[in-house]
A and B are shown apart, each in its own frame.
Chain A
Amino acid sequence: KAGVTQTPRYLIKTRGQQVTLSCSPISGHRSVSWYQQTPGQGLQFLFEYFSETQRNKGNFPGRFSGRQFSNSRSEMNVSTLELGDSALYLCASSFRGQGGNEQYFGPGTRLTVT
Chain B
Amino acid sequence: AQSVTQLDSQVPVFEEAPVELRCNYSSSVSVYLFWYVQYPNQGLQLLLKYLSGSTLVKGINGFEAEFNKSQTSFHLRKPSVHISDTAEYFCAVSDPAAGNKLTFGGGTRVLVKP
Chain A residues in the interface with B (C-beta under 8 A):
4, 31, 33, 35, 42-45, 48, 50, 55-56, 58, 90, 92, 94, 97-108
On whether the beta carbons of A103 and B98 are closer than 8 Å, the reply is no
Given A33-B101, A99-B100, A100-B96, 18 further pairs, Cβ under 8 A:
A35-B104, A42-B104, A43-B92, A43-B102, A44-B104, A45-B103, A48-B100, A50-B99, A56-B99, A90-B43, A92-B44, A92-B100, A94-B100, A99-B99, A100-B32, A102-B49, A105-B44, A107-B43
In B41-80, the 8 Å CB interface with A consists of 41-46, 49, 51
On whether the beta carbons of B44 and A99 are closer than 8 Å, the reply is no
> Shortest Cβ distance from B67 into chain A, in angstroms?
14
CB neighbours (8 Å) of B32 from chain A are: 99-100
Bound CA span A69–B41, Å: 28
Bound CA span A92–B38, Å: 13
User: Which chain B residue has the least Cβ–Cβ distance from A45?
Assistant: B101
CB neighbours (8 Å) of B85 from chain A are: none
CB neighbours (8 Å) of B106 from chain A are: 42
Question: Using an 8 Å CB-CB cutoff, how does the interface string of B5-43 with A read, 1 for contact, 0 for none?
Answer: 000000000000000000000000000100010000111
Asked if B90 is an interface residue, CB under 8 A from chain A, the answer is yes
Interface size on B, residues (CB 8 A): 26
CB neighbours (8 Å) of A35 from chain B are: 102, 104
User: Which chain A residue has the least Cβ–Cβ distance from B102?
Assistant: A45
Task: Report the tally of A-B residue pairs with Cβ distances under 8 A.
Answer: 72
In the assembled complex, 28 residue pairs joining A and B whose CB atoms fall closer than 8 Å, in A order, are: A31-B99, A31-B100, A33-B100, A35-B102, A35-B104, A42-B104, A43-B92, A43-B104, A44-B104, A45-B102, A48-B99, A55-B99, A56-B98, A58-B101, A92-B43, A92-B44, A94-B100, A97-B99, A97-B100, A99-B32, A99-B98, A100-B32, A100-B51, A101-B100, A105-B44, A105-B45, A106-B43, A107-B41
Bound CA span A111–B49, Å: 30
> Shortest Cβ distance from A100 into chain B, in angstroms?
5
